[in-house]
Structure 1
Amino acid sequence: MPVTVGLGAASPDEKIRATVRAVGREVDLTLFSCPGTAGSFGDAVRVVEAVHPEAALVAALAAGDIDAAVRGTLPASSTLAALKAAAGVDHLERIALLETADGHLFLLAPVGVDEGWTVADKVRFVEHGRHIARSFGLAGGVAVLSGGRLGDIGRHPAVDRTMADAELVARLTGAEHVEILIEEAARRYGVVIAPDGISGNLIFRTLAFLGAGAGHGAPVVNIDKIFVDTSRASPDYTNAIMLAKSLAESRKP
């Protein structure tokens, strides 16, 4: 049976219609949108109308009516609040699928400013990242970043701490500590682990909003359902849906 994916569609804009066209029959797609919008997306896609489409999307995911969900153009605050409530967690941990300006895809974590501050956090991100990378067919290997080169040890305690943490994470997981060389990590590895959530968020924003790269969605990894968070600044949601499909297929027997 095809994978069923729900996509949030706050309004019938061109990004949603382009995604519907691009996905085609790759998944069984259902849009979750506001009342009165069903006829605006074309005849080839099912639309669930609701006064609060974000709540309807999360409810369908929690009930197992869909295999995976993608936030799409629904508002972040209310959608993620509904997801946290349904999943019974007080925070969400995400791993972002990014693309450089010259077309290299890689996963980056942490990307939330309150995430990834301990060695244990980063070890979990390595484990989740490897699974997602295999599911989506990304390059093998995990790169762990720190705040400088090894020759910078002693210049500042904060830098020393990031390098000690990166060395420990690498030893515990079999990843590679690549120091501060993000430019090499993004091209050689399928998963890149930032020193903390602030630096990860800055890497994501610099690449996507200043560096002519793109963000293609961020699976939430600390819940038992497949939910891919997205930015409304994304050109479309095709890669996010295909990522959700890959994750759903990896869970099927």
Structure 2
Amino acid sequence: MVYLMGIGKTNNEELLKAYHKLIDEGIEVKLVDDPKELISLTVNREVQGSIRGTLSSSEVIPYLKKYIGKFYRASILKNPFTNNYFLLSPVGIDEVDDENGFNDKINIINYAIKFLNNINNTNDNINNNDNNTKCNPYPKIGILSSGRLSDYGRSKKIDKSIDEGENIVKYISNSNKYNAKHTNNLVIKHKGILIEEYLKEGYNIIIAPDGISGNLIFRCLGLVCGIEGCGAVVLNNNNVKFIDTSRNGNWKRYYNAVKFLTGEILNSIK
């Protein structure tokens, strides 16, 4: 099974550290410097999976959109309070439309729920139903907005963000669709801007107000504070085995991204 790592023109020292460590562990990885080739081989299932590595997002993402259509990205980050991984989305700066934010976030929630369920099914196969290591499949979703709930009235922008958060919770809570198997224990809350409360309480899906703020949260947690992560998975109906990684990541992030594709980190997504 072959995994691809994109290699760009700059910032490759950390990527190569990850590459050599993976090779030493017997994992077959290959470096690809052509964005089109990376995506083509991935979406056509000619390789087991790929990561963007240090290739430019502006070069890679357009090819991915061409092949699979609209998608969202969710960063996989380790919760500093619980040591379990969680999903943060959206993190693509253009993935949530200002005029269609509600629908985009509902789509992200649906895809994220499906993602957790797929992980749980994979873990069932890997662990032979060992309940001590199996991932908790039930989504615990935290909706972020632009201020505390008590900040309502301070500006139209904040009010709109808070209203949207409240409406998302009402929609999910009142829809029969989310009473199906694997979602009947679903938890969804809107606590405004208080991301620290979601993390302390072990939420496994956190929805940012938009892609710009989600990208900033990722950079602050992952690239400034050094919280461990595995890159950002693609959320849409194609189930493409591609992980988006930042060009500014350290070797461990590239390493983790490939290890996630191999299935070795699945048990920690809770």
Q: State TM-score, norm by structure 2.
A: 0.71
Question: Which residue of structure 1 aligns with residue 194 of structure 2?
Answer: 181
Q: What residue ranges of structure 1 are gaps of 5+ in the alignment? A: 34-51
Cα distance change of structure 1 residues 93 and 69 upon mapping to structure 2, 3 Å threshold: same
The higher relative CO (CA closer than 8 Å, separation ≥ 6) is in 2
The one-character-per-residue Cα deviations of 1:24-72 (angstroms, maximum 9, x if unpaired) are: 35xx533133xxxxxxxxxxxxxxxxxx532222121132211322111
Query: Among 92, 97, 105, which residue is 2:76 paired with?
Result: 97
The one-character-per-residue Cα deviations of 1:124-180 (angstroms, maximum 9, x if unpaired) are: 111222233452847841111112222222222222211111112122234211221
Percentage of identical aligned residues: 30
How far does residue 246 in structure 1 lie from its aligned partner after superposition? 4.1
Q: Report the residue type matching 2:242 in the other structure.
A: F
Q: What RMSD, in angstroms, separates the aligned Cα atoms of the two structures?
A: 2.9
Cα distance change of structure 1 residues 210 and 18 upon mapping to structure 2, 3 Å threshold: closer
Query: Among 120, 124, 127, which residue is 2:107 paired with?
Result: 124
CA contact (8 A) 2:2 2:30 kept: no
Query: Among 54, 61, 80, which residue is 1:80 paired with?
Result: 61
Query: Among 240, 244, 247, which residue is 2:261 paired with?
Result: 244
The one-character-per-residue Cα deviations of 1:155-209 (angstroms, maximum 9, x if unpaired) are: 2222221111111212223421122111122342111001122221221222233
Question: Which residue of structure 2 aligns with residue 55 of structure 1?
Answer: 36
Q: What residue ranges of structure 2 are gaps of 5+ in the alignment? A: 121-134, 174-187
Q: Report the residue type matching 1:106 in the other structure.
A: F
Question: Which residue of structure 2 aligns with residue 219 of structure 1?
Answer: 233
Alignment length (residue pairs): 224
Cα distance change of structure 1 residues 29 and 133 upon mapping to structure 2, 3 Å threshold: farther
Question: Which residue of structure 1 aligns with residue 125 of structure 2?
Answer: none
Is residue 2:89 matched to residue 1:109? Answer: yes
Is residue 2:21 matched to residue 1:6? Answer: no
How far does residue 5 in structure 1 lie from its aligned partner after superposition? 2.7
The one-character-per-residue Cα deviations of 1:80-121 (angstroms, maximum 9, x if unpaired) are: 23222333x3x5421111235665532111112222341110
Q: Report the residue type matching 2:190 in the other structure.
A: H
